[in-house]
């Protein structure tokens, strides 16, 4: 049940997190186990398990996640040097929490992943 999911609890403020952005569709907060100096998770305020569960009705809303990421990158002052956006899907990709989310990483040279 998604209401027991840690991201849902953060969105509903049942669990404290360092929230850096919130609007009608998205909540963004600092990762408690950061992989870079800036590591922020951007989650939907409505439950989607992962990319495989996206429906056509989500298309316009999910397109806005990139605008949110850009706003946060500017606020965190990493927009000029660069940042990485990651969305994982299922276990083999590294998705640890079954709730659609995007990682925003920056604040240092991240190198190539390919």
Domain spans of the chain?
2-106
Grade residue 102 by pLDDT with cuts at 50, 70 and 90: very high
Flag whether pLDDT at 8 surpasses 90: yes
Which of helix, strand or coil describes residue 26? strand
Residues labelled catalytic? 101
Please tell us whether the domain made up of 2-106 is placed in CATH 1.10.287.70: no
Residue 48 Cα distances to 34, 62, 103, 113, angstroms: 23, 11, 16, 27
Instruction: Give the pLDDT confidence of 29-44 residue by residue, as tens digits.
Output: 999 999 999 999 999 9
Q: Is 87 within 8 Å of 40 (Cβ atoms)?
A: no
Count CB-CB contacts under 10 A for residue 11.
Answer: 22
Q: What is the spatial distance between Cα 50 and Cα 62, in angstroms, rounded to a whole number? A: 12
Main-chain dihedrals φ then ψ at residue 2, nearest 5 degrees: -65, -20
Residue positions counted in the chain: 114
């Amino acid at each position: 049940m998604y209401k027991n999911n840690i991201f849902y609890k953060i969105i509903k403020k049942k669990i404290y997190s360092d929230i850096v952005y919130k609007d009608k569709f998205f909540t963004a907060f600092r990762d408690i186990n950061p992989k870079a100096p800036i590591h922020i998770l951007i989650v939907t305020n409505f439950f989607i398990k992962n990319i495989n569960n996206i429906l056509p009705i989500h298309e316009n809303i999910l397109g806005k996640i990139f605008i949110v990421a850009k706003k946060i990158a500017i606020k965190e002052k990493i927009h000029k040097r660069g940042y990485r956006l990651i969305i994982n899907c299922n276990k083999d990709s590294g998705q640890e929490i079954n709730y659609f989310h995007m990682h925003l990483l920056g604040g240092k040279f991240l190198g190539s992943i390919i």
